Structure 1
Amino acid sequence: MNSIRHDGDTWDLASSVGATATLAATARAIATRADSRLIDDPFAEPLVRAVGIDLLARLASGEQPPGELVDRVTIDGAKVRTKFYDDFFLEATNAGITQAVVLASGLDSRAYRLRWPTGTVVYELDQPDVIEFKTRTLAELGAVPTAERRVVPVDLRDDWSTALRAAGFDPSAQTAWCAEGLLGYLPPEAQDRLLDTITELSAPGSRVATESRPNPRPGDDGKTKEGLNQISERWRAYGFDLDHTKLRYFGERNEAAPYLTDRGWALNAFTTRDLLAANNLPPLEGDALRMGDLLYVSGVLNSGAEVDRRSTSNRT
């Protein structure tokens, strides 16, 4: 699991970036047991079990207490992050948007567990092996999508817009886009291309939700790497070897919130601290990784954004 990121690298749900999706599902399973009023993901535990990483399966099922491996901050973070994106999709589709796109869908099960309005089409994009695994596993569990689910097996560093259109996506119709927990795992230029392509494919009135991480201050990257190394060592002591510092791209990049605003999106932004307080959860303590400063942003493409859409089309 310790390979360094490089152009064109691939993964499954037990390795590299894919394993982070399994870790996220593990946190959702634990959070669901802890507080179902904020998060109710009944598919997280069986999906983690099916991936086959014994330690994560035991954590997801409750056979092993979270202890130091999945701390309160991680569990509470899973609660507010999941609720933020659940609410985003339900508000968008209840307002009449009929296309939803989940980018880097991983073990996300919203197409199966949310109460989508009749007529909603949910597109899921991810690596082919990831898409095949989740589709097969949920079918074996007898799960049935609650919307029309269309899968798009594609690497988001490639020409995913063509693949999305081939699956039936209509760029002239309003869309709700979700890029959850994704941008930090893309090189800076790939992040910009992704946000440009979202804008290009969006009719006015479309909606988007993602995270916007502040650029590092002097010394921040070193502190972040140190914190991630400590997390990796903690997991390694339990037999799970995943080097988190080798999965992320560090250094400066365009921050997602102002980048999207410049392209015609009117955004609302909430820090992790804001979401914890709004959901009556304890505040962060310590926070060496600056998780409290992470912005969760969502918003609408303005009707006057046609010039921006045309300008981005030359870069995708």
Structure 2
Amino acid sequence: MARTDGDSWDLASSVGATATMVAGQRALAHREQLIDDPYAEPLVRAVGVDFFTKALDGEIDLGDVNPAFTPRRAAEGMTVRTRFFDQVFLDAAAAGVRQAVILAAGLDARAYRLPWPTGTVVYEIDQPEVIEFKSTTLADLGATPTAQRHAVAIDLRDDWVKALKDSGFDPSAPTAWIAEGLLIYLPPEAQDALFDNITALSAPGSFVACEQIGDMSAFDDERHKLMSERMKALGSNIEITDLIYQGDRNHVVDYLGNHGWDVAAVSMEDAYADNDFEYPDDEMSRAFGDLKYVRAVLTRKP
């Protein structure tokens, strides 16, 4: 179902189901001992979507979706992504930053699994139903946050800035922000507004990380449609094309650079090489070959 103004979701539907899909890939990466995320698999199983639990149990062959998409390939791809965003938080902490914000947190368990320095506060922002599910499930698992965790239950289309401040956020202190896997689900103008708000809330020395996808049309070409049809045949209810926003948008590197941030970007191929993985040579990988992982530090207020 296509997006509508004010649409909502849980972790089994719409945009929320994509968060569960990502957590499923993190579970595979944990199994391969490439990352340390013991919470990904139990969270996915608690959501209870058959497609994802069957994939974890080996009852669905990912090769039926894409012959090159083996469990190891899925694990490596998510490892590259996870390590990148983990490292931004770790680098920020090493630089003395003690305030972190995870935007559209979904099933992200970084507040529970990263070695946060004493006194660090981690804010997680997502829709109320998503926040409630994750908080309750992790509590039932006996998980304890490794930082002070403040869950901010609000849609990013609402006044999340006020909600964040009301939860104790201090705009005068440097902050580490991540918008992992988020931007494609925002209209172009909302992407700009997000970074405008982040910049306004950030003190010099703050960090931010996200992805930049140069060619959004890759989500709507025949290769992607074929993969989507194969996933549906296996029981998936995710149709990425209906969930994302097309249209011309500002490139993140340029936008941040023009707003006081010192920006660095790494290509997918280089990110794989940095992790001693070989970048896959198949059609879908080539279609998204222009994706970059972006990190920046605020050096001046615009």
* Coarse TM-score class (shorter-chain normalised): over 0.9
Structure 1 distance, partners of 2:188, 2:56, is 33
Q: How does 1:19-58 map to 2 (within 5 A)?
A: 19-34=17-32, 36=33, 38-58=34-54
Say if 2:262 and 2:296, in contact at 8 Å, map to a contact too.
yes
> How does the TM-score come out when normalised to structure 1?
0.90
CA RMSD in angstroms comes to 1.6
1:247-278 deviation per Cα after TM superposition (whole angstroms, max 9, x unaligned): 11112111111111110100111011111011
The residue type paired with residue 238 of structure 1 is: L
1:31-89 deviation per Cα after TM superposition (whole angstroms, max 9, x unaligned): 2112x2x3111101000000011221132355655433471443322010000011110
Q: Tell me by how many angstroms 1:296 deviates.
A: 0.5
1:167–1:233 distance in 2 versus 1, CA, 3 Å: same
Say if 2:219 and 2:240, in contact at 8 Å, map to a contact too.
no
1:122-177 deviation per Cα after TM superposition (whole angstroms, max 9, x unaligned): 00000000000000000000000000000001111121100000000000000000
**Are 1:77 and 2:77 matched, yes or no?**
yes
Is the deviation greater in 241-250 or in 258-267?
241-250
**Are 1:295 and 2:296 matched, yes or no?**
no
Identify the residue that residue 136 of structure 1 maps to in structure 2: 136
The residue type paired with residue 271 of structure 2 is: L
SS at match of 2:63: coil
Identify the residue that residue 314 of structure 1 maps to in structure 2: none
Amino-acid identity (%): 54
Structure 2 distance, partners of 1:194, 1:124, is 15
Say if 1:223 and 1:288, in contact at 8 Å, map to a contact too.
no
Structure 2 distance, partners of 1:67, 1:141, is 32
Identify the residue that residue 312 of structure 1 maps to in structure 2: none
Structure 2 distance, partners of 1:91, 1:223, is 32
1:69–1:49 distance in 2 versus 1, CA, 3 Å: farther
- Corresponding pairs, count: 297
Which runs of 5 or more residues in structure 1 are unaligned?
309-316
1:91–1:55 distance in 2 versus 1, CA, 3 Å: same
Structure 2 distance, partners of 1:10, 1:262, is 33
Say if 1:32 and 1:40, in contact at 8 Å, map to a contact too.
yes
**Are 1:248 and 2:241 matched, yes or no?**
no
> How does the TM-score come out when normalised to structure 2?
0.94
Q: How does 1:1-316 map to 2 (within 5 A)?
A: 3-34=1-32, 36=33, 38-62=34-58, 64=60, 66-69=62-65, 71-72=69-70, 73-215=73-215, 221=217, 224-288=220-284, 290-302=287-299, 304-305=300-301, 308=302
Say if 2:14 and 2:238, in contact at 8 Å, map to a contact too.
yes
Say if 1:179 and 1:209, in contact at 8 Å, map to a contact too.
yes
Structure 2 distance, partners of 1:85, 1:61, is 27
The residue type paired with residue 110 of structure 2 is: R
Identify the residue that residue 313 of structure 1 maps to in structure 2: none
